[in-house]
């Protein structure tokens, strides 16, 4: 299944050794510092190699792990970890002009843009019939193909374990001494076990 991606893809030109210009600058700076440390320090060769590996390793982190972006993100989080939505500094950092009609008006290089945040409810895809799953996939594909503006999906997962719930429910069923309730409980537990929501106990 394929679909068109409306967003423009960012291309970074490779300069030398399959490195981008930014990576090459990091490599040149860290390599120069490592060379100076190795050449100028009056220690044994193993000690000089170990010391020179420190700036070289930091340079590799900047080159391949996008360390500068991670540091910037951490610093932004640290600055605004206790800020409220209407804090002037936070609004300035987010380039937020206004909030109207359930939209955020932000300032970008291309001008002012509106950003809408939509909250959707999750569904258990596994328990849907195959026909309904196919319909959901097809509808999602049509949505992606219809987009002509940037969109971001923010998702998080949370482990769901119903063992405690079923243990408490099982204790209540045992106290009733009703065989019908026991049969219903066992069917209920087996249903959850099939879909991996509980572990065997």
Count of Cβ atoms closer than 10 Å to residue 97 Cβ: 13
Question: Would the pLDDT of 50 be above 90?
Answer: yes
Query: Residue 37: CB partners within 8 Å, gap ≥ 6?
Result: 48, 51, 52, 55
Which residues form the domain of 105?
83-117
The whole-number average pLDDT for the span 32-39 is: 94
Encode pLDDT of 58-70 as tens digits. 999 999 998 998 9
Examine residue 133 and state whether it is found in any structural domain, yes or no. no
Question: Are residues 18 and 67 both part of a single domain?
Answer: yes
Instruction: Give the chain's domain count.
Output: 3
Examine residue 170 and state whether it is found in any structural domain, yes or no. yes
Examine residue 18 and state whether it is found in any structural domain, yes or no. yes
Question: Are residues 22 and 53 both part of a single domain?
Answer: yes
H/E stretch holding 131 reads helix 130-146
Examine residue 58 and state whether it is found in any structural domain, yes or no. yes
Question: Are residues 25 and 57 both part of a single domain?
Answer: yes
Predicted model pTM? 0.45
More confident residue, 18 or 59: 59
Examine residue 49 and state whether it is found in any structural domain, yes or no. yes
Examine residue 145 and state whether it is found in any structural domain, yes or no. no
């Amino acid at each position: 299944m394929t679909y068109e991606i409306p967003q423009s893809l960012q291309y970074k030109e490779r300069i030398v050794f399959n490195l981008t210009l930014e990576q090459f600058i990091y490599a040149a700076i860290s390599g120069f510092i490592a060379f100076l440390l190795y050449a100028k320090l009056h220690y044994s060769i193993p000690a000089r190699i170990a010391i020179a590996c420190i700036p070289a390793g930091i340079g590799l982190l900047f080159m391949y792990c996008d360390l500068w972006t991670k540091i910037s993100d951490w610093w932004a989080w640290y600055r605004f970890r206790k800020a409220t939505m209407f804090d002037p500094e936070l609004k300035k950092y987010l380039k937020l002009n206004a909030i109207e009609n359930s939209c955020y008006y932000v300032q970008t290089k291309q001008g002012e843009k509106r950003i809408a945040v939509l909250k959707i409810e999750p569904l258990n895809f596994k328990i849907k019939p195959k026909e309904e799953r196919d319909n959901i996939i097809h509808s999602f594909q049509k949505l992606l193909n219809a987009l002509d503006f940037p969109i971001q999906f923010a998702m998080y997962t949370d482990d769901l374990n119903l063992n405690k719930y079923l243990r408490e429910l099982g204790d209540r069923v045992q106290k009733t001494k009703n065989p019908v309730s026991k049969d219903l409980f066992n069917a209920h537990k087996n249903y959850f076990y099939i879909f991996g929501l509980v572990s065997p106990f």
